[in-house]
Chain A
């Protein structure tokens, strides 16, 4: 069944045997070309340049030495600090993905099920935060979580605390802000991934004797799991590549790959090392997406 789907996908739904005319093929090519050129110039070429850069050497005087060495990878992978950074990055991604999915799941389920005439408006509201820049929203969180922020201010005014607790300028603040900023993506991904769910399936389970809890465990959850995976993957990828929020909210205490790449590229000016770290980040992405595809494939079978 899966093979059938992929064949259909590849041929755009046309029967495999049907030959398409040269004109049709030229038309298809014409439509694909602009985007492909854009992707090649904007993504593939810079990627090649970056990978090449990661094998160069950072000279003692700070100059760039054209060579072919694994030194940067060696340095990144032998230094416990970078392992810590990779670990932090993965941890941040897992935690943000998990929390965003848990918080977004009931919202997405509600938005999928509701028959309200305001459904469209509600969905728009749920994803409206995306219309504000992440920078603005991060500063919003600083105002809330900072030492003089709303939460600490309240706790100190009421005398519950004598001094501020550190919510900002560390991992918890980054996670709180990232989860909130990325949740709309999780909601969107889940809504589009809940397509197999429909009311009569849950009703049928009910008539067959399943309590509400069992209906959820045996029908609702299994049918929404593909959407959950997609939502998780999206938030995971966006949080391990996020830069603005960890940078602004981390207060220099949060070290993840994206901020390290930035530091190496702009402060130490060590472009080869920055490139090598970027490639490592890319490989992390690749592994994860491959794992995700295996998971969904197994699910469809």
Chain B
């Protein structure tokens, strides 16, 4: 065991899970170190193994191999009810036959302690989520947002070593989801509870997490701070999954420095761009975020910028942003461009345009 693992609040090592009667492992060789007080998001498409990982950490599922340590202490074979982790379920899983207060004090009751003290602590947890006035209600009488906050209060009331959130916001409508994002984050930071969040929603992960683990097919593809994930994806899957991306096929790839490459990027010509360290071969793909592509005004010259001409073949309007799809004049590529919208600037389909970008805003990743 390394000394860094000892300092970590949660340390997951080589975690594996293969379900009975299946060939392909649901989760393979997961390594995850989480610092005290951080919120880490497990982000990935459905079926990527993120919930399986969370359930193994919670003790609801037995790993096929690997170890889980909390504060340096091995908990891999500790039964779920002795792990002291608080979990918020996607369905909230509030006990329908108990009042809100009884729900929240359930965990305290299981730990013993006086009834009066428990109720006081439960009340405090309810006040923390601003629902103290609903203590005597039944969960069924509350809205989705209220149920979700009560589930959070119930998980936090036991002062868990680890807070586990399994898609906690997926059953809420869009507006409420965003408000709850900030509320959960602020409660988590105030209580300093180390937290794991499972989500398939990239905005949620980018907005809430200190670090994000991108998962696909049971493997962690990248584990980094949100900005690193977005700006410097380690592969095409990550670039494609988090945010929107143009992928420009690039040839004649040649390394010109640590993480710097000279390439030929189709219609944009010869460029020098940053990229993932250690790309092999002479072909790669250039990740170009649509909002980093600039529409050039008529007659504008920017000699040092790569550029391409083309025709708008589609446009979509989402209020603050207009997205165009441009077929480049050499016909090899459709490039997506996102622009902050203004009624005066809207371009019609069929318009001829020239686009450019700053090569330092692009990022080269391996093919595939």
Contacts and interface: CB of A to CB of B under 8 A. Distances in A.
Given A214-B110, A222-B97, A207 B91 contact: no
Interface residues of A, number: 20
Chain B CB count within 10 A is highest, among A200, A209, A210, A219, for A209
A205 B59 CA distance: 12
A206 B164 CA distance: 14
B111 interface: yes
Contacts of A1: 138, 140-141
Given A203-B89, A204-B89, A209 B141 contact: no
B193 to A, nearest CB: 14
Chain B CB count within 10 A is highest, among A200, A219, A222, for A200
Chain A CB count within 10 A is highest, among B84, B85, B106, B111, for B106
A201 B106 CA distance: 12
A41 interface: no
Interface in B182-231: none
B97 A223 contact: yes
A75 interface: no
B141 A203 contact: no
Contacts of B97: 196, 222-223
B350 to A, nearest CB: 51
Contacts of B87: 203-204, 207
Contacts of A196: 96-97
Given A1-B140, A1-B141, A223-B97, A209 B158 contact: yes
Contacts of B164: 207
Contacts of B271: none
Contact of A203 (B60, B84, B154): B60
Contacts of B111: 209
B149 to A, nearest CB: 15
A257 B111 CA distance: 53
Chain A CB count within 10 A is highest, among B84, B97, B138, for B97
A162 B80 CA distance: 55
A208 interface: yes
Contact of A200 (B80, B86, B93): B93
B246 to A, nearest CB: 41
A11 interface: no
A8 interface: no
16 contacts: A198-B93, A200-B90, A201-B95, A201-B96, A204-B95, A206-B59, A206-B81, A208-B106, A208-B154, A208-B155, A208-B158, A209-B81, A209-B111, A210-B81, A214-B110, A223-B96
Interface of A: 1, 196, 198, 200-201, 203-212, 214, 218-219, 222-223
8 A-B pairs closest in CB distance:
A208-B107, A209-B110, A204-B93, A200-B93, A206-B80, A207-B87, A200-B89, A222-B97
Interface of B: 58-60, 80-87, 89-91, 93-97, 106-107, 110-111, 138, 140-141, 154-155, 158, 164
